[in-house]
Structure 1
Amino acid sequence: MKLKAVTGLIAAGIALAGTAIAEVAPGDITWVDDVMIPTSLTGMPGSVDAGVSVVSSRSAGNCVACHGISALPDAAFQGNVGPSLDGVGSRWTEAELRGILVDAKHMFPDTRMPSFYRVDGFTRPGDAYTGRAADPATFGPLLSAVQIEDTIAYLMTLTD
Structure 2
Amino acid sequence: MKRIAATFVVLGLTAGAAVGEVAPADVKFTDGALAESLSGMAGNAEEGYNIVTSKSLGNCVSCHSADAYADIPFHGNIGPMLDGAGSRWSEAELRGIVANAKMMFDGSMMPSFYKTAGYVRPGDAYTGKAATGELPPLLTAQQVEDVVAYLMTLTDE
Q: Percent identity?
A: 56
1:51 aligns with 2:35: no
From 107, 121, 143, give the equivalent of 2:139: 143
1:155 alignment partner in structure 2:
151
Give the structure-1-normalised TM-score.
0.81
CA pair 54-21 structure 1, distance change in 2 beyond 3 A: farther
Give the structure-2-normalised TM-score.
0.82
CA pair 130-28 structure 1, distance change in 2 beyond 3 A: same
2:11 alignment partner in structure 1:
none
1:111 alignment partner in structure 2:
108
Q: Matched residue pairs, number? A: 139
Query: For the Cα contact (< 8 Å) 2:29–2:103, is it kept in 1?
Result: no
3-state SS of paired residue (2:68): coil
1:80 aligns with 2:77: yes
- Amino acid aligned to 1:115: S
- Deviation readout 1:117-154 (Å, 9 max, x if unpaired): 011111353224544322324x2011110110000000
CA pair 71-121 structure 1, distance change in 2 beyond 3 A: same
- Separation in 1, partners of 2:58, 2:73: 15
2:122 alignment partner in structure 1:
125
From 28, 31, 38, give the equivalent of 1:30: 28
- Amino acid aligned to 1:157: T
- Deviation readout 1:97-127 (Å, 9 max, x if unpaired): 0111111111111111001001111135322
- Separation in 1, partners of 2:106, 2:98: 13
